[in-house]
Amino acid sequence: MTKHSQIKSDPMAIMRLLKDENGNMPKGLPPVHKWNPDFCGDIDMQIKANGQWMYMGTPIGRAALVKLFSSILRHDDDGCFYLITPVEKVRIVVDDAPFIATLVSKVVDEGVEFLRFTTLTEDVVIVDDKHPLWVNYDEQGEPRPYIKVRDNLDALVHRNVFYQLVEWAEIRELDGESCYAVQSAGQWFKIAPAV
């Protein structure tokens, strides 16, 4: 996870960019980071690597229900994922990242370019110093790009979205190496080495 440049993003610009097409701000999330209920055990719920939420081996088909569950998801320091309420804490299985970024757009605000991602659960994320973009590689050398959504929760960037980033990438010298990088909030984020 490499960040570049000392420019910090303008919080007011980020707030403007998070608005939907009707100019509405996203609704706030429950304060799960403040809740500390007793652990109640495991629940047979899984978020598959493709972003599909499963309950007892069956896909959860209602998008509103998935969105609700995603709003109370927390990734704790023990490496486990939990659904948290003020009175319950249940552990679930997450195969990779809990979210999938399925859309990206470039937005320019007051001359500064931003990358705006949207996830399957309708989270909107502006890539900046607090929400970085980075790429890991699997055993076969295939790129696995991620963005920080909130707290300890990441989104895997969908392959089609990654191809869009590759189209926008420029060759830059970052950390002493030549690489392909994309710009957001005045920073450059490395997505691949330049061969």
pLDDT tens for 16-34 read: 544 555 555 456 788 888 9
Residues 6+ apart with CB under 8 A from 89: 35, 37, 38, 39, 40, 82, 83
- Percent of the chain clearing pLDDT 90 (strictly above): 67
Q: Which three-class secondary structure state does DSSP give residue 40?
A: strand
Domains of the chain, first to last: 11-23+98-193 (2.30.270.10), 32-94 (3.10.540.10)
Work out whether strand 124-126 and strand 112-119 pair parallel, antiparallel, or are unpaired.
Answer: antiparallel
Per-residue pLDDT tens over the stretch 69-99: 999 999 999 999 999 999 899 999 999 999 9
Query: Which residues pair with residue 1 across a beta bridge?
Result: none
Look at residue 13 in the predicted model and tell me its pLDDT.
Answer: 47
Helices (H), 25-169: 63-71, 159-168
CB-based contacts of 145, cutoff 8 Å, min separation 6: 133, 134, 135, 136, 156, 157, 162, 165, 191
Which residue type does 38 have? D
Please calculate the CA angle 97-114-63 and round it to the nearest 5 degrees: 40
Quote the pLDDT of residue 26.
52
Residue with tokens 């994922």: 81
Structure tokens at 24: 């509405």
- Of 6-15, 52-61, 67-76, 179-188, the least confident: 6-15
Q: With a threshold of 0.85, does the pTM exceed it?
A: no
